Structure 1
């Protein structure tokens, strides 16, 4: 396990929307390098960079055309190597986004695989044995290549699935995941990883990590492949880290060997109940809504089994948002966000802060750009100041990748820097507390102190700290077997004489002697 993860806090950067240094309306690698000091000033000492590889951008870079080349819109491989180097000079780490399950249909591997004549790449993708054989259980394309067969898709029609094989064989054209063609695909992906690790990358966030092997209902074969990757990393790059888009830590961490796994915003799951749950009438039923209609047990009943299973071999990662998720400001105001982020950033594991969340950037309903569809509204340019294009780019507005928030009330870094009570400074304060106290870092020391169905507050302990949260607009008071002084406080709270009194919409971290 890489030791640096013990105190890691990640900042997710969507490269085309962060900072444009050459005036073409699209963010670039040099812009990220230029803003590393800002990222570190937040308390984020690691970066997850969304795909920056060469691509036709039918799915915002998740359709890779060349895994070993930076997309020219972002710069060059040398620019990215310099970004790695500058991050390391600041004691920071940087993960790239690995897309192992599919490529663009313009990738050179696919150009060869689609040919009628047999060649070394014929088995790199999954093909049926006839153009007329269209499997009902899988998305596929047919009749668009010279090869007599249909090829399986992983997502959009421009994203053919790479061949990691099948666990359960149900048709003659399917290969078992141990077939040499499938093993060759694994080795090709390891080669991509080695290329960027040798260039200075510190690891990878893995897109759709559970999607590799088909007919793999319990994901055992997919997990076996990732264990092989973990063995390679432990042997050759022991300080490299992997975080999976799996949202099942018991599988991703315990069985597949990932160092971290995200809990994602999936309806019916615990994370969703905290921040994005609504009632039948559309009203807020999230636990962190000030409406006070949430149920913390929906989160704990999902989280605790995952935490208990994975706590000794990896870290659960909670997110403020990501590039696929509506920003929390869609349903929460600034105070609600302050309380929600403070909770996320004091939980065990390795947290992830999405760019712009620290200033309360808004989600907008926008026309789809580069396959974003409803996700597009969470990908708008970073708002740095009140200057042209909110300081994102010197380009004419019509050339921007996406429009900036031009409202008079649009938050910016520059303005929030000047306001000591801003969301930005709240994030800084809570992260400073986290970094200063090992008990508040990734260590698995989570204990529930008070949690009841449909009640507030929620109280938990981490080492010598008691953390209490009351997002609702109701004052609360409960018995707690501890007494302590506040180290971080939003709203009004006190913990003394074995009583915890919390004002409405409050969050507190108490340091308690003798625990």
Structure 2
């Protein structure tokens, strides 16, 4: 297997608004990030992925960009940014920027011009259509609830927005748009960044006919129209052009966030022969605690289903492409609250989840606060939430579907993106040491017990356990390049798998419950000798690996000679 630096890296995602505020305005900023770079270096991070820092009116917290080549005033200046890049590189780390090019802000100059008249030179930078029978051009539904079409009276036409109405979709059919994007990417790469995380990149190509959806779901809403824009007709053509004009000119890391992607489709994007990206973010494992793919319709996650999803991705990409490994990011709830136990076994389950994930083949991503075991939050009122998706769902459910607010709040507590966006918990001082001002979003009240200052100084903390995990990965090629195989496929409590490279094998055994199941090694399992590699409880190293009782949320990794 071809060795690459991005395969051997561990990535840490920073959500700048919530990371560290240096000037007391309640909003995280670039100088706050610089202040904490040594913390990330101590953790062992190789690559920092920055959520958007570009100029934005913040309708969707920076994912609505009004100027791709300017830094948001709240975060600092371009000089601050350049100093941050230099400080990151000085510490031997790399930086990956968020690339958001499915849409812009409606305050971007391109769109300001586009909506002025039908013959404006920027008109075709966006997707405009006349109405149909006095209604929208089609009945497509937005990711953020409501129609994907917004009427604009100036020209008596509608523009497309898969997300908020303040996020009009770019028209990738227009070669001028594509060239603008490629020029902008090159501009950033010439500023010494080390790659891009591409936001929703597989929805940039749409079916130009915009056909109506006729099938309704059980709540009476029209089914999602994604088959008309996910992995659309020209997506590979566009990305090949991007590779030819930009990506192939630099030794960089690229990861594409991709809606509704399955492994056989992902291989087309990431295969080493003619693929365009290094890896993709898929969502299949993020939907196993949702009924019928509806994020807000909660169900307990099924370990057997998790095994099927993760194993399929590991095996389908084996020798063909590369996996990204994540359990959390700025769009997902906290994993220890979601897949672990954030009460009695918060520390144990956080360590288990980290081990289970980092021992797989792929590049691991750590989202800020994950290394501390930060948890979900329950804000007192819907008024305390900021997430555009959450507020859209709440409004739709209460006003259009007639649901009781109390019926909706458990889903918000479990799944709102604001769970991940509460300020980073640095210490036990006011506002968790995040800001001396009033934070833009409420701090999780458990910061007195869960914070970086406590964790760094505790040898048994989640933070120091993650340090060990990351160091093991750097010292043992088997963790990066070994092949993956599932064992105990039908066990409903234990997730066990192996990694194999040459004469070495790793045996990973993870208990996903608060119970004490018995692990039994499959008959005829080959090994000559074994030693404990890492575990989240004390283990008698002389204990046989043939059979042992697992403690709640226990994980053990053994290194075997075969």
Distance 1:238 1:345 in 2: 24
- Residue in structure 2 matched with residue 135 of structure 1 by the alignment: 137
Q: CA deviation at 1:391?
A: 1.1
Aligned residue number for residue 439 of structure 1: 478
Match of 1:459, SS state, is: strand
Pair 50,408 (structure 1): closer, same or farther in 2 beyond 3 Å: closer
Partners of 2:263 and 2:188 lie apart in 1 by 26
1:191 pairs with 2:179: no
Q: Give SS of 1:189's match.
A: helix
Deviation at 1:265, TM superposition (A): 5.9
Q: Does 1:315 align with 2:322?
A: yes
> In the alignment, which residue of structure 1 is the partner of 2:556?
508
- Residue 254 (structure 1) aligns with: 268
Matching residue of 2:490: 452
Contact 2:6–2:253 at 8 Å: present in 1 too?
Answer: no
Distance 1:457 1:15, change over 3 A: closer
Q: CA deviation at 1:142?
A: 4.6
Shift of 1:141: 4.3
Rounded Cα–Cα distance in structure 2 between residues aligned with 1:16 and 1:498: 46
Tell me how far 1:53 sits from its aligned partner.
0.6
Question: What TM-score, normalized to structure 2?
Answer: 0.79
Aligned mate of 1:368, from 366, 385, 408: 385
- Select between 57-66 and 381-390 the one with higher mean Cα deviation: 381-390
What is the RMSD computed on CA atoms of the aligned residues?
2.8
Mapped partners of 2:68, 2:247: distance in 1: 22
CA contact 1:249–1:261 (8 Å) conserved in 2:
no
Q: Distance in 2 between matches of 1:266 and 1:106?
A: 35
Unaligned runs of 5+ in 1: 165-176, 287-293
Q: Which residue in the other structure is 2:350 paired with?
A: 337
1:88 equivalent in structure 2:
89
Distance change in 2, residues 1:27/1:122 (3 Å): same
Answer whether contact 1:494 1:502 (CA < 8 A) is retained: no
Distance 1:316 1:405 in 2: 32
SS at 2:234 equivalent:
helix
Aligned residues of 1:493 and 1:507 also touching (Cα < 8 A): no
- Assess if the C-alpha contact under 8 Å between 2:12 and 2:48 holds in 1: yes
Matches of 2:493 and 2:138, distance apart in 1: 47
1:147: how far off? 2.0
Inter-partner Cα distance in structure 2 for 1:230 and 1:144: 35
Q: What do residues 170-207 of structure 1 show as CA deviations (whole Å, max 9, x unaligned)?
A: xxxxxxx4xxxx22222211112111111111111111
Moved more, 231-240 or 5-14: 231-240
CA drift of 1:65 comes to 0.5
Structure 1 residue ranges, 4+ long, deviating more than 4 angstroms after superposition: 130-133, 140-143, 265-269, 493-498
Query: Which residue is 1:168 aligned to?
Result: none
Identify which of 466, 474, 485 aligns with 1:427. 466
| Match in the other structure for 2:220 | none
TM superposition shift of 1:95: 0.9
Mapped to 1, the partners of 2:73 and 2:3 lie a distance apart of 32
In structure 2, what is the equivalent of residue 499 of structure 1? Answer: 546
What's the CA shift for 1:239?
Answer: 2.9
Counterpart in 2 of 1:172? Answer: none
Q: Is 2:167 the partner of 1:125?
A: no
Structure 2 CA distance for partners of 1:31 and 1:451, relative to 1, 3 Å: same
How far apart in 1 are the matches of 2:282 and 2:485?
Answer: 19
CA distance in 1: counterparts of 2:337 and 2:512, whole angstroms: 17
In the alignment, the residues of structure 2 paired with residue 383 and residue 408 of structure 1 have an alpha-carbon distance, to the nearest angstrom, of 6
Could you tell which deviates more after superposition, 137-146 or 227-236?
Answer: 137-146
Distance 1:14 1:148, change over 3 A: same
Residue 402 of structure 1, CA deviation: 1.2
Question: What's the offset of the Cα at 1:135?
Answer: 1.2
- 1:301 match: 308
| Higher deviation after alignment, 463-472 or 352-361 | 463-472
Q: Distance in 2 between matches of 1:142 and 1:499?
A: 63
Determine the structure 2 residue equivalent to 1:54.
55
**Secondary structure of the equivalent of 1:352?**
strand
2:509 maps to 1:468: yes
Distance 1:408 1:394, change over 3 A: closer
Structure 2 residue aligned with 1:212, among 204, 214, 234? 204
For residues 418-459 of structure 1, the C-alpha deviation after alignment (integer angstroms, 9 at most, x for no partner) is 221111111111111111111112x25212344325353523
User: Which residue in the other structure is 2:331 paired with?
Assistant: 324
Q: Is this contact kept in 1: 2:432–2:448, CA < 8 A?
A: no
1:448 is paired with a residue of what secondary structure?
strand
Q: Which moved more, 1:210-219 or 1:335-344?
A: 210-219
Kept in 1, the 8 Å contact 2:426–2:452? The answer is yes
The number of residue pairs the alignment matches comes to 479
Partners in 1 of 2:324 and 2:102 — Cα distance?
Answer: 22
Task: Give the secondary structure class of the aligned counterpart of 1:161.
Answer: coil
How many Å apart are 1:498 and its aligned residue?
A: 6.6
SS state at 1:57 partner: coil
What TM-score results when the alignment is normalised by the length of structure 1? 0.85
**Rounded Cα–Cα distance in structure 2 between residues aligned with 1:208 and 1:192:** 18
Change (3 A) 1:392 1:372: farther
Contact 2:17 2:27 in 1 (8 A): yes
The question of whether the paired residues in 2 share the 8 Å contact of 1:60 and 1:372 is answered with no
Distance 2:387 2:447 in 1: 28
Cα deviation, residue 78, structure 1: 1.9
Asked if the contact 1:223/1:251 (under 8 Å) is kept, the reply is no
Cα displacement (A) at 1:209: 1.3
Deviation at 1:354, TM superposition (A): 0.8
How big is each residue's C-alpha offset from its partner over 1:314-334, in whole Å with a ceiling of 9 and x where there is no partner? Answer: 321121311111112324232
Deviates more, 1:384-393 or 1:406-415: 406-415
